[in-house]
Amino acid sequence: MNRHEWERGLLTWDLLSGVILAAAAAVVWFDDEPRADRVWSIAFLLAIPPLYAVLARPVVRSGRPGGPRGFAYTAGAIGLFAAATALAPAAWCSAFAVITHLFMVLPVGWAIASVVVLSVGPAVPQLLTAEDPGRVAGGLLANTLLIVTFSAAFGHWIERIIRQSQERAELIEQLTASRAEVARLSREAGVAAERERLAGEIHDTLAQGFTTILMLLQGAEARLDDGHPARRPVELAARTARENLAEARALVAALPPAPLQEAALADAIGRLVDRFAQDTGAVPRFETEGTPRTLEPSLEVVLLRAAQEALANVRKHAAASDVRVRLSYRADEVRLLVSDDGRGFDPRATAPGADGGFGLAGMRRRVEQIGGTVEVASAPGDGTALTVTVPCASMWPATA
């Protein structure tokens, strides 16, 4: 958040105070007082800025006048001012800087009282030694009233600026938080609306289509004898339609994929491997490493979809005789490896999104969205090894 106006103006006040104290020191240097008195007076004046930086500046930045630091600075600044003016009365012009500091570090009432002490204190020795105390006292009273009146008006103005600036800063923070909340709610509403639209589309198209296909396949299956050559392919096709219908209904209901509703991730991937063997006649190998964990649902969905896509690519393109699938559970990540000894390809020659965004490019996008990585090692004639790694800082043992 940007600092409010009062905080941005502090540097200007600090520079102005420094200029006033430097000018006061210059006036003292050219005064008629003894050299030693002038040197000590200037030393006392130049000790005020470091004292301000250490004690007063933190109070001013906090916007909460008072406290031990504020009162400690007040005592120190008044003492240094009194010592400087006692040695060289010309140092009194530094009061314009010190009075400003008092109203910055103290509540208004305490600041006005401190200004009275600042004004009267240095004049007390002069009053005690004057030949005409009455005249000196009258001048001192008039001078004090003028300074206190001006300082009180100035102090109340500064207090109002600080209070208004703080109120505006708090209001800006509230508005920023409210805007962020509105943006979040709007984004969630948009996501929900889009999800509802897609659910309707899936229900009206894919789900209905799979239902029709399944009914037709079941009708064909009923007309085939047990030994008919087409019976096995029809049974596989019916099972595929049934599984995809379950997937479509899960998407409509915003549920996890159907395989993950019925089994843990390792078991679901194992079933994919078994299904691959039945469909292709190959003998793939599936193994797990480490202790199986129950992951966050989003991670399990990504890994399951990656395994489905990898095995589908092997089925369609690889013509492999040796297929291996390994699911490795590590301390802070889970790694899925799908490798084959098939045709292979040149990953650099594959145009991203050439398959409509649902192949390797789509897999990579999904994995990267959860902070994971996808690595493809392949070459023509040397098979393919696809590795998906997802981070999973929060994992717990899988339950039976």
Q: Work out the average pLDDT over 306-320.
A: 85
Average pLDDT, the chain: 78
The fold for domain 259-399 equals: Heat Shock Protein 90 (3.30.565)
- The C-alpha angle with vertex 364 and arms to 362 and 367, in degrees rounded to 5, equals 110
pLDDT of res. 282: 80
Question: Distance between CA atoms of 117 and 20, rounded to whole angstroms?
Answer: 20
- For residues 327-339, average pLDDT: 91
Specify the pLDDT at position 353: 41
Which tens digits make up the pLDDT trace of 44-87? 989 998 998 888 888 877 767 778 888 898 888 888 888 888 88
Q: Which pLDDT score, from 0 to 100, does residue 180 have?
A: 83
pLDDT at residue 129, rounded to an integer: 54
- Predicted confidence band at 91 (pLDDT cuts at 50, 70, 90)? confident
The pLDDT tens digits for 213-256 are 878 888 888 888 877 888 888 888 888 888 887 777 666 655 55
What pLDDT sits at residue 355? 44
Cβ-count burial 353-364 (b if 16+ within 10 Å, e if not): eeeeeebbbbbb
Report the alpha-carbon distance of residue 32 to residue 34 in Å, rounded.
Answer: 7
pLDDT at residue 267 above 60?
A: yes
Q: Is the pTM of this model over 0.85?
A: no
pLDDT of residue 25 exceeding 70, the answer is yes
- Least trusted range by pLDDT, from 70-74, 286-290, 357-361: 357-361
- Residue extents of the structural domains in the chain: 3-129, 259-399
Would you place residue 210 in the very low, low, confident or very high pLDDT band (cuts 50, 70, 90)? confident
d(CA 306, CA 269): 10
Residue pair 300/390 in contact (Cβ under 8 Å)? The answer is: no
Q: What is the mean pLDDT of residues 149-158?
A: 68
Which residues make beta-bridge pairs with 334?
Answer: 329, 390
pLDDT above 90 (res 166): no
- What is the pLDDT at residue 189? 73
